[in-house]
Amino acid sequence: MVGCAVPEPTPSPVHAAVARRAALVRELAEILVHTLRLRIAPDEIDPDAPLFGAGLQLDSIDSVEIVVAIEEAFRITLVDRQDGDPAVLRTLNTLADRLDETRR
Amino acid sequence: MSLADDVHLLRRSVGLSRPRAAVVRVTGDGAVPALDRLLPCDVWLRDGQVKPTVLLASDGTVEADVLLACDGDDWLLSADGIDPDALIALLGDADVEDLSATHAQLAIDGPFAWALLGAWDEAGAIGLPYLTFYQQDDVRVTRAGRTGEFGYHLLVPTARADALGTELLALGERFGARWVSPAALAYCALENGFLDLPSLGGARLDPRELQLQWRIVRGKHCRGADGLAARASSRRTTAFRSVTEVAVGSRVACEGRDIGEVLVVAPDVGGPGFLGLLLLDRDFAVAGIDAFTVGGMPICTVSIPMVRNRSLYVRPQRHTWADEAALPLPYPR
């Protein structure tokens, strides 16, 4: 038949999960670059690169900005202000883990 | 002591070791140009600052794990994975002194490493920022490590090294400190995502594949830059855990499709199972996926670090060794 578009195959649950996680990490990288006005492209931030100390060498002021930006973007509480776990902010992947937890 | 005993010590208290990196001092007007030509990072540091980077081979793969330190007008280069003579040859016409020939190295790692170092040198140790150094008489103390815990690297004149080691061991007795094996340090590096080239079994990988882009400046002209630019870097390392044992080199599959291989694996010291690194096609190199398989058995990709370092919860300004029992542990006692 003329003019019929072939529908895209539906991705399997695994492929969908991989794509979802990759998109989440990419979005977090974009938030970091935009919020902190970093002079690198989002894809230059490896998912397991340390954000503080070595790695991107962000500081405590940056951490506040990041938390606020992510909480606003995803409409969640990322870090408990009283008992915030420092492990959450270690890398893009640990941030993504926390977001996945809050959305389950 | 077993590997597990040493790892538990490094994660709970403090362990001592003897690193063997190539260490050179680079001086003179030719120092900065030589370092800038050699290293893929910016060579602009404050006095007393230390920067982790890598040495690239001509094909763009990582050849050595490097720390660059600025000491006034001089520079210290510490490289793990290359001989001192080879490192000196790469620095060309710069004035270079091989400190590996005249100095030994000691390392102190663990959540209470700062307490042991403070027992030896109270004024200098407490409050030393990460990736900085200071000089205590003829001993250079650098705060750096590869375990994810507090870590200090000491560069000591060879003639004094044994005595200093004995002194630190005595001071560390109340913390349970003792010498730990290189294998335990490599295991801790694996859990925390630090580069440990011997663990990669000879695999030649570039900074993008190893998730070390933060250690280089993209597009900087230096040794290995052309080789790196020519590489496709279509793969990336990703950490994993598995219940069943898997072998290095085993293929990783996603719904029957080959997506990579097992690069590093070790028994999990913190409990049953195994952990390690995969080298996956970039499209699949994400954490949090529990549907990949190795030999038909499920594995789970995870984020790094693969451990909650006790050092995250230790505050040298507030805590003392008396608080040790109350602080969280990454593994069951």
Per-residue pLDDT of A36-87, as tens digits, reads 999 999 999 999 999 988 888 888 889 889 999 999 999 988 877 666 677 8
The three-class DSSP label of residue B260 is strand
Q: Is B202 exposed, middle or buried (0-12, 13-18, 19+ CB in 10 A)?
A: exposed
Residue B101 in tokens: 């020939």
Tell me the one-letter amino acid at B223: R
Question: Which three-class secondary structure string do you get for chain A?
Answer: CCCCCCCCCCCCHHHHHHHHHHHHHHHHHHHHHHHHCCCCCHHHCCCCCCCECCCCCECHHHHHHHHHHHHHHHCCCCCCCCCCCHHHHCCHHHHHHHHHHHHC
Nearest to B286 among A13, A18, A44 (CB): A18
Rounded to two decimals, the ipTM of the complex is 0.92
CA-based nearest residue in chain A for residue B305: A48
The whole-model pTM stands at 0.94
Distance from CA of B109 to the nearest CA of A (A): 16
- B chain contacts of residue A50, beta-carbon cutoff 8 Å: 193, 214
Q: Is beta strand B178-179 parallel, antiparallel or unpaired with respect to B235-242?
A: unpaired
- Which one-letter DSSP state was computed for residue B113? H
Answer for the pair B96, B24: CB distance below 8 angstroms, yes or no: yes
Residue of A58, A59, A93 best to disrupt the B interface, most CBs of B under 10 A: A93
The predicted pLDDT at position B151 comes to: 97
CA–CA dist B89, B97 (Å, integer): 12
A4 — pLDDT class (breaks 50, 70, 90): low
A91 in contact with B at a CB cutoff of 8 Å?
A: yes
The predicted pLDDT at position B333 comes to: 57
The predicted pLDDT at position B124 comes to: 74
B284 in contact with A at a CB cutoff of 8 Å?
A: yes
Residue of B62, B195, B211 best to disrupt the A interface, most CBs of A under 10 A: B211
B283 in contact with A at a CB cutoff of 8 Å?
A: yes
Give the DSSP H/E element, type plus range, for residue B229: helix B225-230
Distance from CA of A6 to the nearest CA of B (A): 23
Q: What is the mean pLDDT of each run of 10 residues along chain B (333 residues)?
A: 95 96 96 97 95 97 97 96 96 94 97 95 84 94 96 97 97 96 97 95 95 95 97 95 97 96 96 96 97 96 95 90 89 66
Determine whether the interchain pair B304/A93 forms a contact, defined as Cβ–Cβ distance below 8 Å. Answer: yes
B122 in contact with A at a CB cutoff of 8 Å?
A: no
Q: Is beta strand B22-27 parallel, antiparallel or unpaired with respect to B50-56?
A: unpaired
Say whether pLDDT at A1 is over 60: no
A55 in contact with B at a CB cutoff of 8 Å?
A: yes
